[in-house]
Structures are given as C-alpha cells and as structure tokens.
Amino acid sequence: MIIKTEEVMKKFEQAGAIQKGHFKLTSGVHSDTYIQCAQVMQHPEFMHSLCSELGKKFRGDDIDVIVGPAIGGIIMAHVMARVLGPWVRAIFTERENGKMTLRRSFEINQGE
C-alpha cells in the first residue's frame, strides 16, 4: 500500500500534531509551524504503515542500526528497525551537556 503525502498530512492534522504560532526550535531557528509527532505516534497502525512506506526507500541498503533521539524518536526508530528486518537494532540518543549522545551502554559496533 502506498501512502500519499496528502494522506500523511491529513493524519497529522486529524491527530492535532500540526501547531501554528511562534516557536523557537532546539536549533535556535524560529518557525511558525511545529509538528508534535507524539500525537501521531499514539496510533500504532498508522506508524507501521508510515514506516513501512519509508522503509521501502532503504530496502537493499545494508542497515544494521536505527538511531532515534529520545524521547520522540524512540518509537519511530523501533518501528523502522522492525520494518527493515529482524537483524536491525534500534537505539536512541539522549541530550547530555547540550549534545545528543549515545548513553545507557549503547554502542554502534565497527561494521554497523
């Protein structure tokens, strides 16, 4: 099943994930739109469909590890890893002293 961009945006809108206003992003950039992905991630079936579609772009690539930022990217990293194959690990980074770092004994091994 192919998910169209319009369908994705509609789901984000229905979930209340797209917010309008004035936002200062973590990068320091200002934006009039913010997408709160957590609102969509509470719908596992949609997340699986979205990640399955995204995963098609990476089929055939030699992917061993998916890394997502805590907290928001943890769910998507796990779903993507599952979609890509049983050998793909999912780990996450956490902010430490202002930088995203691997913690909790996570490692990316040589060759991964």
The CATH number of residue 97's host domain is: 3.40.50.2020
**Domain-located, residue 81:** yes
The pLDDT score that the predictor gives to residue 3 is 75
Q: List all residues 6 or more positions away from 90 whose beta carbon is below 8 Å from its beta carbon.
A: 65, 66, 67, 68, 74, 77, 78, 80, 81, 82
Helices then strands (H, E): number in the chain? 4, 5
The pLDDT score that the predictor gives to residue 1 is 60
The pLDDT score that the predictor gives to residue 104 is 85
Q: What is the pTM assigned to this prediction?
A: 0.78
Pairing assessment for the beta strands 65-69 and 89-96 based on DSSP bridges:
parallel
> Are the CB atoms for 46 and 75 separated by under 8 Å?
no
* Domain residue limits at 93: 5-102
**Domain-located, residue 109:** no
The pLDDT score that the predictor gives to residue 19 is 95
**Domain-located, residue 110:** no
Distances (CA, A) of 42 to 11, 49, 67, 79, 107: 12, 13, 20, 12, 28
Q: Measure the CA–CA gap between 70 and 93, rounded to whole angstroms.
A: 6
Regions of the chain with pLDDT less than 50: none
The pLDDT score that the predictor gives to residue 77 is 95
Tally of domains within the chain:
1
